[in-house]
């Protein structure tokens, strides 16, 4: 999961495949027909919309792509198991200009997903779809710290933050 700028980039990046998908245009035709439009009216609307949409995603649609999933998203968050993952070093957690990360899946609804949010240099808040006690604490192995750091670095837009200058981080950034 990414903050709004990254979410907008993703939505705009998907837009050409949406505009080029004939099934979507057929669904629009069907919806207009169900609302009482005649076929010639429908084709005129499609003829106007298609080139307009090919030029780029209209702002109203971009905003809806951000806002409309929110109730489903926030409702889902309350159903997840939350865990504080605590690192004791020597390596600790990085954070970035885009700190909230989805690991193991592209969407929150995927049951394999892990939502990560670095809250301090040695603490990451994690949410997963599993039953059990809510709000637990677990120690992170250095391997787990490395996995989380790689995911945070990969989701960053421009900046990575760490509590101290470290050679391993410079090496990690060179590989990212």
Distance CA 15, CA 62 (A): 10
pTM above 0.85, yes or no: no
- pLDDT tens, residue by residue, 111-129: 788 889 999 999 999 988 8
- pLDDT tens, residue by residue, 18-56: 778 888 888 889 988 998 989 999 899 989 888 888 888
Q: Give the model's pLDDT for residue 172.
A: 75
**Average confidence score pLDDT of the chain:** 81
φ, ψ of residue 162 to 5 degrees: the values are: -145, 155
What are the percentages of helix, strand and coil residues in the chain, rounded to 5?
Answer: 50, 20, 30
How is the chain split into domains, by residue range? 4-67, 72-175
């Amino acid at each position: 999961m990414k903050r709004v700028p990254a979410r907008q980039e993703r939505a705009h990046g998907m837009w050409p495949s949406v505009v080029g998908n004939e099934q979507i245009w057929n669904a629009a035709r069907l919806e207009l027909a169900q609302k009482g439009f005649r076929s010639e009216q429908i084709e005129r609307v499609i003829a106007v919309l298609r080139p307009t949409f090919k030029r780029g995603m209209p702002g109203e649609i971009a905003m809806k792509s951000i806002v409309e999933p929110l109730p489903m998203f926030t409702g889902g968050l309350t159903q997840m198991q939350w865990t504080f993952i605590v690192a004791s070093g020597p390596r600790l957690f990085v954070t970035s200009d885009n700190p909230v990360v989805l690991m193991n899946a592209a969407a929150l609804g995927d049951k394999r997903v892990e939502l990560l949010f670095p809250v301090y240099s040695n603490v990451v808040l994690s949410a997963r779809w599993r039953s059990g006690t809510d709000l637990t604490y677990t120690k992170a192995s250095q391997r787990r710290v490395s996995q989380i750091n790689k995911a945070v670095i990969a989701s960053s837009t421009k900046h990575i933050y760490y509590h101290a200058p470290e050679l391993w981080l410079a090496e990690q950034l060179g590989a990212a």
